[in-house]
Amino acid sequence: MRGETANKVLLRLKREGVCSGEELAGELGVSRTAVWKAVKNLRSKGYEIVGGSARGYLLKECRKPCAETIVPASQTDAPLFLFSEVDSTNDIALDLLKERCPHLTAVAANAQRAGRGRVGRKFFSPAGTGIYMSVVIRNIANYRDLLAVTPAAAVAVARAIDEVFKIRVQIKWVNDLYLHGKKVCGILTQSMADEEGGVLGAVVGIGINVTGKMPQELKDKACSLKKEVNEEERDRLIGRIISYLDDTSRQLSSREFMDEYRRRSCILNKRVTFETGGITRHGVAVKIDDDGALYVRCGANEVKINSGEISLSAWE
């Protein structure tokens, strides 16, 4: 709870300037001691907050990289932290999760210096061409529900792209979105356990190639959604992604979104190549279950794949 209070205090100070401890306590429904502890927590993270409870707190600056803007991420109280450039939005979101930030707290940046994809790969994320964002998912009841977070995010992003740009994208198992046989979005989910070994939450990192040309080494594998976009479209896409994540994250136990995940699949009933036990195998993708596992028919046998990568020979 202390982390949640700290985030709310930070958001209030960013918006209003000077706030007394009494005002903050009344607005947030906590004690003045809780406000003081929240301020102390923020100061330990590098935020320079001057003043005191009686005469008011004032946020001056942060000695670490801090967001230029904080706005509501959705209809909830969750904040959206906006940066011009960061090393990785996932790293910042993981720090916020560690402090028990609210569900759907989001971090977005115009560029990343060290964006990453699966298995530690670099993710191409230059300024002005993409949307690079990470969203904290807190309503994960157990480890089985954790399995559904990436498919839930893929469906949410696909729905948002449909709505904002009227472009129907497909899902390539397990965590990429494709357009015309090329990658337009990658999703990286990282989770964190609590002190008792349960699921504290997860961070969903989303990188979308919105506009601009791909570098030479990527142009045959990746593409952008549009030639040109405006700021209003980019902002709307971020907002709709968070909104649809709100919807799909409520369905982690019921898996209601998995039917749409399967409908959007670009691999089902296609020949695929994958690696297991150091051996490259080929087969036909026949099924994706509600936990997101892929079943591939290899001759007379059916192989279940819980994680890893596959490729479609037609795209290589």
Domain boundary among 15, 45, 62: 62
Residue 68 CB neighbours (<10 A): 12
Whether residues 74 and 206 fall in one domain: yes
Check whether residue 199 and residue 301 sit in a common domain.
no
Decide if pLDDT at 271 tops 70. yes
| Cβ–Cβ < 8 Å for 273, 285 | no
* CATH of residue 35: 1.10.10.10
**Domain total for the chain?**
3
pLDDT in tens, 77-109: 678 888 878 888 999 899 889 888 889 999 998
d(CA 265, CA 242) in angstroms, rounded, equals: 22
Domain boundary pick from 27, 45, 62: 62
Residue showing tokens 């759907």: 104
Q: Is pTM, for the whole model, over 0.95?
A: no
pLDDT of residue 315: 39
Q: Are residues 89 and 167 in the same domain?
A: yes
Asked if the model's pLDDT at residue 212 lies above 80, the reply is no
- How many whole angstroms separate alpha carbon 284 and alpha carbon 312? 10
- Are the CB atoms for 294 and 286 separated by under 8 Å? no
Is the same domain home to 109 and 75?
yes
For residue 65, name the pLDDT band (cuts at 50, 70, 90). very low
Residue 58 belongs to domain spanning: 2-62
Q: Are residues 125 and 227 in the same domain?
A: yes
Query: Do residues 186 and 218 both lie within one domain?
Result: yes
Whole-number pLDDT of residue 316 = 40
